[in-house]
């Protein structure tokens, strides 16, 4: 079987082009504030991707780098100042934060109306209840990729491997909202291969390199690889083993699959924030 490559770069490019037109018709240019704590090469790379995409779309960005030794309360105070700044439309705290920081407390400090990443409990609660809200960027990007393969997902069996607040849990809810029958797998799940092999849609977001083997995948399934890890040679790899090519009907590459779509959905959230103000 020939596996179709779900290219996130191509789709993200189309979305950013559409968003650029929308930004030109907004009452003002959206302004995204990015908060970074400490020096992390991976975070720097992701921030550069986001600011480059923002330039393309026409969104203003300001990057605020805070010292690694900062406390949780000091970050919260900084975020609250951004909440009250009328010139700032959206706020993004770059994750992961240092281990000494309470990430949940920092996320909850963000004004839900400015929550560009869609991670506050109010916005995630809106996702759960069907209330219009800002959606988490990575799961939303995954859904858009899945819909490239099949527009109508109603009645399909979906398995989401991983249950994090950032990806796994909201991903399962998004698929449930699309009328899929959803199973959520995690580190305590028994017979993972058997569960996954019955999925029409398989999303893996664990960061465990090569976890999803050929026998985990139903022939013709849509497979979305969210995982990011590094090989011994320093190459970026995902959760899905290379042997899945030729079994899956559709598969996202790593890199070049979900990552660009996460950034595109961040830009989309920023446009929606300003639209909701109008």
Marked catalytic residue, from 16, 50, 89, 241 = 50
Write the DSSP symbol of residue 82: H
Predicted confidence (pLDDT) per residue in 80-129, tens digit: 999 999 999 999 999 999 999 999 999 999 999 999 999 999 999 999 99
Q: What is the pLDDT of residue 167?
A: 97
Q: What is the pLDDT of residue 266?
A: 98
pLDDT > 80? residue 183: yes
The helix-helix angle for 41-57 and 8-24 (nearest 10°) equals 50
Q: What is the pLDDT of residue 75?
A: 98
Task: For the chain, give the mean pLDDT.
Answer: 96
Task: Look up the pTM and report it.
Answer: 0.96
Token pair of 234 as six digits = 């320093």
Marked catalytic residue, from 89, 117, 225, 241 = 117
Task: For Cα atoms 146, 140, 1, give the angle at the middle one, nearest 5 degrees.
Answer: 15
Q: What is the pLDDT of residue 150?
A: 97
Burial of residue 21 (number of CB atoms within 10 Å: 0-12, 13-18, 19+) = exposed
Catalytic residue flag (residue 94): yes
Predicted confidence (pLDDT) per residue in 131-169, tens digit: 999 999 999 999 999 999 999 999 999 999 999 999 999
**How many Cα atoms are found within 13 Å in the side-chain-facing hemisphere of 207?**
6
Name the phi and psi angles at 273, rounded to 5.
Answer: -60, -45
Task: Give the other-Cβ count within 10 Å of 30's Cβ.
Answer: 26
Cβ atoms 124, 136 nearer than 8 A? yes
Burial of residue 231 (number of CB atoms within 10 Å: 0-12, 13-18, 19+) = exposed
C-alpha distances in Å from residue 140, one per residue of 55, 119, 164, 183, 262: 21, 12, 15, 18, 8
Q: What is the pLDDT of residue 151?
A: 96
Marked catalytic residue, from 16, 89, 94, 200 = 94
Closest CA to 74 of 65, 66, 85, 83: 66
pLDDT > 70? residue 187: yes
Q: What is the pLDDT of residue 278?
A: 67
Write the DSSP symbol of residue 134: P
Q: What is the pLDDT of residue 43?
A: 83
Instruction: Report the C-alpha gap between 107 and 163 in whole angstroms.
Output: 18
How large is the average pLDDT for residues 251-272?
97
- The percentage of the chain sitting over the pLDDT mark of 90, rounded to a whole number, equals 92
- The percentage of the chain sitting over the pLDDT mark of 70, rounded to a whole number, equals 100
Domains of the chain: 26-114 (3.40.50.10860), 136-259 (3.40.50.720)
How large is the average pLDDT for residues 11-32?
97
How large is the average pLDDT for residues 194-203?
98
Task: Give the other-Cβ count within 10 Å of 145's Cβ.
Answer: 23
């Amino acid at each position: 079987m020939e596996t179709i490559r779900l290219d996130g770069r191509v789709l993200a490019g189309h979305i950013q082009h559409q968003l650029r037109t929308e930004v030109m018709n907004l009452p003002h240019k959206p302004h995204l504030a990015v908060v970074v704590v400490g020096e992390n090469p991976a975070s720097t790379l992701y921030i550069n991707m986001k600011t480059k995409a923002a330039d393309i779309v026409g969104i203003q960005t300001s990057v605020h780098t805070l010292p690694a030794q900062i406390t949780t309360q000091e970050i919260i105070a900084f975020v609250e100042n951004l909440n009250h700044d009328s010139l700032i439309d959206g706020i993004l705290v770059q994750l992961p934060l240092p281990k000494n920081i309470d990430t949940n407390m920092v996320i909850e400090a963000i004004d839900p109306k400015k929550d560009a990443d869609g991670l506050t409990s109010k916005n995630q609660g809106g996702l759960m209840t069907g209330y219009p809200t800002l959606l988490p960027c990575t799961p939303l990007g995954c859904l858009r990729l899945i819909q490239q393969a099949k527009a109508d997902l109603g009645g399909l069996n979906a398995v989401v491997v991983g249950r994090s607040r950032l990806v796994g849990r909201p991903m399962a809810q998004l698929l449930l909202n699309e009328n899929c029958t959803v199973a959520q797998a995690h580190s305590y799940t028994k017979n993972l291969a058997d569960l996954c092999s019955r999925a029409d849609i398989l999303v893996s977001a664990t960061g465990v390199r090569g976890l999803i083997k050929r026998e985990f995948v139903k022939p013709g399934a849509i497979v979305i690889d969210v995982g990011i890890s590094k090989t011994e040679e320093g190459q970026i790899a995902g959760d899905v083993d290379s042997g899945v090519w030729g079994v899956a009907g559709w598969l996202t590459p790593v890199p070049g699959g979900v990552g660009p779509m996460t950034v595109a959905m961040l830009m989309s959230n920023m446009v929606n924030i300003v639209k909701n103000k109008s």
